Amino acid sequence: MKQALPKAGTVQIAPSILSADFANLASEIKLVVSSGIEIIHLDVMDGHFVPNITIGPPVVQGIRKCTRAVLDTHLMITDPGTYAERFIEAGSDHITFHIETVDRPAEFIQYLRRLGVTVGVTLNPETPAEAIRDICPLCDMVLVMTVHPGFGGQSFIDEAARKCVRIRSWVGPEVRIEVDGGIDTKTAPIVVRYGADTLVAGNAIFGQPDRKAAIQAIRDALA
């Protein structure tokens, strides 16, 4: 049974495990979930679409065993058509693919839905918002990259984040808008003002000694 995304409208923080302690993933995930986190962001990188390699289906299988949180799987890979199903079988609840990697995105979205997951499209900072204009209303969540994908701990690109304003006008209130990269206590209020309601944070949480306090600091910044 797949976990559904929380209804749009509530602001959700989605910790990215990219910055977590990979020697203790289960306890890291349990810790953030004990702070009321409902979505865990999994950064999948293939060393081709982005200059880094991270995790594959076996790791998702392991993570699935330790949490009921929504496994929000961000595919930074050149061939999501081949691999998406394996992530879904491994336990992914939500699949986000890069518009730069799929020729017929509307068909791909239908294919993913038939596999029982919620679906998202994402775009790199240099990709104009128009590239997803027709596609984003078909999605459950749209991910706006606010750094160049590949690494955690990079600086927030405000110009990229501003795409949220127009995307919100295209999708309305029911579709989640997720932002990813450089989100912390300073940038979180900015992106929510732009229309985002799902905030991926890696370094701002797992780069801090006290994860719970780091999550609370972001929540306080949004209050």
By CB under 5 A, name the one of 43, 46, 72, 178 that touches Zn ion: 43
Is residue 43 among the annotated active site residues?
Answer: yes
Is residue 187 a contact point for ligand DX5 (CB under 6 A)?
Answer: no
Among 149, 190, 194, 196, binds ligand DX5 (CB under 6 A): 149
Report the residue number, 137 or 162, with the smaller CB distance to ligand DX5. 162
Residues 219, 215: Cα–Cα separation, whole Å: 6
Could you tell me the smallest distance in angstroms from the CB atom of residue 180 to Zn ion? 4
Active site residue 140: no
Q: For 14, phi and psi rounded to 5 degrees?
A: -115, 95
Asked if residue 43 binds ligand DX5 (CB under 6 A), the reply is yes
The span from the CA of 21 to the CA of 37, in Å, is: 17
CA dist 13 and 114 (Å) reads: 27
How wide is the angle at C-alpha 70 spanned by C-alphas 103 and 17, nearest 5°? 85
Task: Tell me: does residue 182 bind ligand DX5 (CB under 6 A).
Answer: yes
> By CB under 5 A, which span of 36-44, 60-68, 133-141, 150-158 interacts with Zn ion?
36-44
- Give 32's Cβ-side CA count (13 Å radius): 35
Residues at the site binding Zn ion, with contacts judged by CB under 5 A = 43, 74, 180
